[in-house]
Amino acid sequence: MLNSTLKKEEGDYVDVDYDVKREEEKWVKEAEKYGEEDRKRKEEIELRNQADSLVYTTEKTLEELGDKISKDQKDKVERAKDTLKESLKGTDVAKIKADTDELTKALHEVSAVVYQEAAKKAAEAEAEAAKAKEGEEGKAEEKKEEGDYVDVDYDVKGEEGEKE
């Protein structure tokens, strides 16, 4: 106690360093005690943020897709979105997670259908372009066969560096 800081409290001398150490130990114990609770709360907040974001994204996606998906597909996604919105009003983290997964799955199915349709249209457009190109080449071949062209050799005179 020779190196300690002493403080007089109500007639007694108290070791201040000892009090600080006791407070630090108390804080560490409290942090350990509430650490698990804080971790769970953080996970819940992150899950809620993710779910809110997914609901927003779903609404925007449905607006953009409009008539590109069937009514059944749209209804399925809408139901999953509404279920998740209801879950977000409560505190059941497991239900929020399950509903988030369900909405994600429904969106992936719709996205796959839209992607397949886009790929099909691109393939059709490519086939049309190939047919058009073949048609143009065929016309060019016909013109060559009909003799609409003249094959000529020529020399250019009067260019720089060339003597006349």
- The string of pLDDT tens digits covering residues 70-86 is 889 999 999 999 999 99
Torsion-angle region of residue 15: left (phi > 0), alpha (psi -120 to 50) or beta? beta
Average pLDDT of span 2-23: 60
Cβ–Cβ < 8 Å for 77, 60: no
Q: Out of 3.40.50.150, 1.20.1270.10, 3.40.640.10, 1.10.3720.10, select the CATH number for domain 6-137.
A: 1.20.1270.10
- Report the sign of the C-alpha dihedral through residues 67, 81, 56, 54, in that order: negative
* 92-141: pLDDT as tens digits: 999 999 999 999 999 999 888 888 888 888 888 888 888 877 766 666 56
Mean pLDDT of 49-54: 95
**pLDDT at residue number 100:** 95
pLDDT at 23: 84
| Per-residue pLDDT, 96 | 94
3-class DSSP assignment, residue 32: helix
**pLDDT, position 33:** 83
Q: Where are the domains of the chain?
A: 6-137
Structure pTM?
0.58
Q: Are 15 and 1 spatial neighbours (Cβ–Cβ below 8 Å)?
A: yes
